[in-house]
């Protein structure tokens, strides 16, 4: 029969092995916890990146849509007949600013490739209209201005329709990715 003294002698012989096993278990737990934290941080970073792209696409679609609405109104107004040059000048002075387009251009790498060409065309048309809004009236341009404005508004509308289609696809994809990531956070 083993006495207390014999049990101590037996445990004493396995103390280094038992300490190593406990340390190995602790290291395994620390590894699992550390990797969980790293994976969580990756998911949070991916969620933030996708949310940023999602926001850019939503703002761009909204602002470009507003510009399209204004362009349609101007084009419809011009279609009613030869406008008074002074009224046309006042209408053009009211062309909205679109700083969101400039902001989107600064982070162009976040935009879908399918939308780039159409975005550039919308931006070009907007800048053309904004140039009319900021210029001093030159009476010698009064005859050509309605035709040029109509052309810019028409091109803006066409480009916006294609941009909207590309952005809608991207928004749907990004929203699905966001929801998947949100479920895992």
Q: What is the DSSP string of 69-129?
A: HHHHHHHHHHHTSPPPHHHHHHHHHTPPP-HHHHHHHHTGGGS-HHHHHHHHHHHHHHHHH
CA distance 169 to 54: 11
Tell me if 84 sits within 8 A of 142, measured CB to CB.
Answer: no
pLDDT given for residue 184 in this prediction: 85
CA distance 174 to 176: 5
pLDDT given for residue 137 in this prediction: 66
Taking Cα atoms as reference points, which of 46, 64, 50, 175 lies closest to residue 115? 64
HSE (CB half, 13 Å, CA atoms) of 36? 7
CA distance 146 to 92: 10
CA distance 95 to 155: 16
pLDDT given for residue 115 in this prediction: 87
CA distance 103 to 96: 15
Q: Which three-class secondary structure state does DSSP give residue 33?
A: helix
> Hey, what are 165's tokens?
């289609």
pTM: 0.76
Tell me if 166 sits within 8 A of 115, measured CB to CB.
Answer: yes
Question: Where are the domains positioned within the chain?
Answer: 4-184
Kindly write down the DSSP assignment for every residue of 45-68, as one continuous string. Answer: HHHHHHHHHHHHHHHHHHHHHHHH
Taking Cα atoms as reference points, which of 65, 77, 67, 66 lies closest to residue 146? 77
Q: Which residues of the chain have pLDDT under 50?
A: 1
């Amino acid at each position: 029969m083993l006495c207390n003294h014999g049990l101590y002698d037996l445990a004493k012989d396995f103390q280094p092995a038992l300490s190593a096993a406990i340390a190995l278990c602790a290291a395994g737990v620390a590894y699992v916890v550390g990797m969980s934290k790293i994976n969580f941080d990756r998911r949070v970073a991916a969620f933030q990146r996708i949310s940023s792209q999602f926001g850019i696409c939503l703002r761009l679609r909204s602002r470009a849509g507003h510009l399209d609405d204004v362009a349609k109104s101007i084009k419809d107004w011009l279609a009613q007949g030869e406008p008074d040059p002074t009224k046309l000048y006042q209408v053009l002075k009211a062309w909205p600013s679109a700083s969101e387009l400039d902001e989107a251009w600064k982070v162009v790498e976040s935009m879908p490739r399918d939308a780039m060409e159409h975005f550039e065309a919308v931006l070009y048309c907007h800048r053309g209209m904004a140039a009319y809004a900021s210029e001093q009236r030159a009476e010698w341009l009064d005859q050509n201005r309605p035709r040029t404005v109509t052309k810019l508004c028409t091109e803006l509308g066409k480009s916006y329709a294609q941009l909207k289609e590309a952005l809608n696809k991207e928004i749907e994809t990004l929203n699905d990715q966001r929801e998947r990531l949100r479920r895992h956070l």
